[in-house]
Structure 1
Amino acid sequence: MDFTLIVVLVIVLALIFDFTNGFHDTANAMATPIATGAMRPKVAVTVAAILNLVGAFLSTEVARTVSSGIIREGQDGIQITPAFIFAGLIGAIVWNLITWLLGLPSSSSHALFGGLIGAAIVGIGIHSVDFNEVVNKVILPAIIAPLIAGLVAYAATKLAYAITRRELGKPDGRGGFRYAQIFSSSLVALSHGTNDAQKTMGVITLTLIAAGLQPAGSGPELWVVVACALAIAIGTYTGGWRIISTLGKGLTEVKPAQGFAAETSTAAAILASSHLGFALSTTQVASGSVIGSGLGRRGSKVRWRTAGRIALGWVLTLPAAAIMGAITAAIAQFGIVGVVIDAVAGALVIAGIFLWSRRKSKPVTVGINEIDGAGRVVKIRKTPRKPPRKDRKKVAL
């Protein structure tokens, strides 16, 4: 197999991963505005796709973190080959689809990082990974950003409910938040493009550097930015139609004021992190915001067992994907034969997962299930509405 052909295969596989990322994460931006009636499904999906495309052009800091931060490419003589990057991508995609099939909470971003780290450790050695960068730019943001987004969403929901408190005989005025969600959900879609599309840009840039086609430490070329922006936008548009089929059936009840608070805090956290080069999981940040906004409602209570299950799924993703990447990298060490085995095995697993998912009676929609699961962490006590004053007098009689 020609060396150039391996580079092309890695680029194609990275763009497929980018497509699946957009396919998965449409729900992060558009689940709540469609559920609350703020936007019509077709309009929401189209807007999300366009803003993902635009967002991908706004920054390249996260791409630099992936291409020259996590893996010490070009430092101290370390040289990762495109074959090992290919193996890492296969491992990440396989793990991503396994969790998709099982409905387990996971992060596409952490699956990607785990796959690359596992492949680099097996292919070159543990010294090839900059663990300080992994902790500072991946692990700590994964813990801190959802917490901050949740606290902001909690405070914003409390404020929104306090300002629009219902007075006797008058409407509460919260209906306006339904239209404000058009703005807030659009911000989430824009921020998703600024962070998630860049991860694929970083992988492709790392491949070009490893192949000697680009100098070490350089950022993504324009054609890489355009290709990744288009891939995530098309994935977002395609994934939206699958999401529409289940909206309103399984999504936790979210009030417009909650949705606006959650979406605004999610977008703010992701946009700030993208500017700083932090590689976040959009789903984790969105889930943290949904939980925070739920706690901001009166009479709310945390279901700790549910929260623990979600957190466990998130924690397992990085090491599990690293193991998958390590296995595929071990096979890739056999040269061309190993790369072919990885490609064939990966294709068979992906096809098997797809066929198995078609046999299920219920459609698999991880984006919805994860956000819905985050919403279910918070239990809202439903209080019966008091009858009007005249009716209460009749009851008393």
Structure 2
Amino acid sequence: MKLKHALINAACLAVAFSASSAMAQNVVGGGASLPEYLYKAEIGAFAPDYLYASTGSGAGKTALLTNVATAFNNTYTPPRTDAVVHFAGSDSVLSPSDLSGYTRTGTDGNLVQMPSVGTAVGIPFKVGTLSALTLTANQLCGIFSGKWKTWDKVNASYPASDINVVYRSDSSGTTEIFTRHLNAVCSTASGNSLIDFPVTTRFSDVVALINAAPNDPLNPKNVSTNFVAKSLSAGVRDEIDARTNVIGYLSPDYINTTLAPTSTAATKNLKAASLRNKNDGTSYTPSSANTTLALTNLTLGNNLADPNSWAPTAANPASGYPISGLTFLDHVTCYSNSSVLSKILGFLDRHYTYSGVNDNTSRIEGNGFAKLPSTIVTAIRDNLLTNNSGKNLNLGNATACSGKAGR
């Protein structure tokens, strides 16, 4: 659907359950720090009435589910006073507890979990004088499980100094994508890991398991002091830059401008490890092209009325960069303000346009992300942005929102 038609359709649908208020109404959202600068680049280019507050995925989802904007408001100086949350950005999928705990269906309609772009989780490092680092799955597991505590265990030619690991302290979808991969390739049974990794948004859960695990008698050192927690992607970026013999995990837009040429967050020009995909034996950088390759075979679930069907994962892809996944835009179905609904659909139309005069490819790939497979974009347009499918799942659908006040 063209942008003009999307805007006209949005306005017509919204009239069915609300009156329009001032055209200057802001669309309020926030959450994941991973795609923050992509969304801000898009806001600057085609969505001036949008707001995006970087709080981390967990806080972003909570704000949307409860319709409490406090976490978003507090990121601004001075704090804002917004009273409505229209959307959230999250790299973590809506969990069973997120879905069961959502109690606003009667007023706001159903939750909508919309794949946004593909992303890699890169492994930035600073190790002695190394200018490049390639890690196998076993080496990645040994480092991030605390099994290997000094760099010479990774490679005898590396320094015999502590491995310092920097991780996210907040509830983070970046952490979820990362731990989903570690859960798939690391295990105590195989001997490549000190622990069995949970899939979690909080890496502190991993550190707790590491500290509770029996120490390796050949290297009986408590690892807790070598695992350092920092808030948001910017905190991890800055801590890695400030330390030596250090490693962590970040999206490409926070690592360097080779991976994300137009990123304004890659201010420290960090080095990123290449990872060897255990399935095809090839080493890959966390580039947009290698993320695209990893996500090529993603497919949606069969029941598109279920938000879970919109959250395919690639924990251990057959080829491409091994730690790849999706970041999401989460919404409710019903909006009380026709101007807000029109702006949301206009933004999403532009966000998912990959060719022609409104082509958004340069912003997506310039910030280190990957476009979605075309089959998923078509499903989003036909089911969530319009009702071409006839399933009444789209934002602002008059049937689905009948009798509901809207957000």
TM bucket normalised to smaller:
under 0.3
TM-score by length of 1: 0.24
Query: Greater relative contact order: 1 or 2 (C-alpha under 8 angstroms, separation 6 or more)?
Result: 1
Q: As a proportion of its length, which structure holds more helix? A: 1
Q: As a proportion of its length, which structure holds more strand? A: 2
